[in-house]
Structure 1
Amino acid sequence: MNGPPAASGPDAAVISESLEQPEAFGELYRRYAADIHCYAARRLGDAAADDITADTFLAAFRTRMRYDQARPNARPWLYGIAANLIGKQRRSEVRALRALARTGHDPVAESWAERSDSRVSAEAAQGELAGAIAALSAGDRHVLLLVAWADFGYSEVAEALSIPVGTVRSRLNRARRKVRAALGNADPTHVHDFLEVPGRG
């Protein structure tokens, strides 16, 4: 027996449809679960990412009636929920980053290695970068990693974190400055790729 057709159209329309047909919400999961999982895994490791992803969509489903239908794209909303859940595990994230900074080895280490190339010592640079990011405030770290890993523009970060665009800009500038200072103002290729994200409104 065939099930109902998959919901289609903008995310807001899918959420609206799900108010009457809850199974339609599964379309948002199909669209974004892999990306949310990847983002959470880079920050907390694979094991925690499974829980963060499941909890993100559960929270989104439970609060979908409050979604602002004027926003056709639900991606910032979902990442904002994920960021809040990750924030509740801030100690775990900071511990993982500090372990990587100290030893060069951590379950999250492969995420950092993706940013390296043959021109730098990946292990050494990973540790330095991880230590610098661990030292950031939670707010600055959220902004930096949404820009660097979720490829969000300023307005999307602002929407995800419910903060003004000006705050996004100041937090991002501060985070970049602190990370560069912690790295001795060095600009290894993968750090350049990590930090030099063009401003997008």
Structure 2
Amino acid sequence: MYNAGSDEADAWSRARDGDPDAFTSLFDKHRDRVFGHTLRLVRRPHDAEDVTAMVFLEAWRRRDVVRVVDGSIIAWLLVTANNTVHNLERTSRRHRAALARMSEPRNQPDHADSVADELDNVERDRRVRNAFATLSTADQNVITLCVLEELPLAEAARTLGVPVGTVKSRLSRAKRRLGDLALVSEPIRPAFEGGAE
């Protein structure tokens, strides 16, 4: 009987030992799913491509610590995508703060932003993205695995290294908080500054 999980676990074992062809096969298998998840977070295809590349670079660089859950590395890749986006956003905030300390450049307003703001779903998407960004890393990871990627609770628990009950309580709390925050009309500033939990 064909077992995709077993095949992937075998490919990962070879990749972990330094086989670039095995790693390439896993990149080909999971690239689109990681890109799609990242695009939901950053909303710009170019940035999502960069994050996807960084995720797989990190998987290759840290292949001795990648967790295989139910014969697959996809959950580890998705959590790493979350962490990579956090790091990029933190760097971006620092860059913006440094620019703010510089003299104000003269810019002409871009009418494209005002046109885009007229679309109903732009504001809703912004609220959801901002609300997601304010959640703790643990809550973001459980939302990513259980809601966005629809992984079973047990698989998410194994990926995160916590009991299923912890995943259930985090998921309930995270959904409630995400819903409450998405209703707020004021711009939401991300609450996280530290690394991954």
- Say which structure, 1 or 2, has more relative contact order (CA 8 Å, 6+ apart): 2
Letter in 1 for 2:10: A
Q: Report deviation, 1:181.
A: 3.3
Q: Deviations over 1:25-62 (max 9, x none)?
A: 11100110111011111101322211221111122122
Q: Report deviation, 1:88.
A: 1.7
Partner in structure 1 of residue 172 of structure 2:
173
Structure 2 unaligned spans of 5+: 94-112, 184-197
Q: d(CA) in 1 for partners of 2:56 and 2:129?
A: 28
Q: d(CA) in 1 for partners of 2:146 and 2:138?
A: 13
Partner in structure 2 of residue 139 of structure 1:
138
Q: TM-score with structure 2 length normalisation?
A: 0.62
Q: d(CA) in 2 for partners of 1:57 and 1:92?
A: 20
Partner in structure 2 of residue 32 of structure 1:
30
What SS does structure 1 have at the residue aligned with 2:168?
A: helix
Q: d(CA) in 1 for partners of 2:92 and 2:175?
A: 19
Q: Report deviation, 1:161.
A: 3.4
Does 1:10 pair with 2:7? yes
Q: TM-score with structure 1 length normalisation?
A: 0.61
Q: CA RMSD, aligned part only? A: 3.4
The answer to whether the Cα contact below 8 Å between 2:39 and 2:45 also exists between their aligned partners in 1 is yes
- Which shifted more, 68-77 or 15-24? 68-77
CA 1:142–1:90 in structure 2 vs 1: closer, same or farther (change >3 Å)? farther
CA 1:159–1:54 in structure 2 vs 1: closer, same or farther (change >3 Å)? farther
Partner in structure 1 of residue 189 of structure 2:
none
The alignment-based identity, stated in percent, is: 28
The answer to whether the Cα contact below 8 Å between 1:40 and 1:49 also exists between their aligned partners in 2 is yes
CA 1:82–1:122 in structure 2 vs 1: closer, same or farther (change >3 Å)? closer
What SS does structure 2 have at the residue aligned with 1:89?
A: helix
1:46-65 equivalences under 5 Å are: 46-65=45-64
Q: d(CA) in 2 for partners of 1:70 and 1:182?
A: 32
- Which shifted more, 73-82 or 26-35? 73-82
Letter in 2 for 1:166: G
Q: d(CA) in 2 for partners of 1:75 and 1:125?
A: 28
What SS does structure 2 have at the residue aligned with 1:73?
A: coil
Q: d(CA) in 2 for partners of 1:90 and 1:164?
A: 30
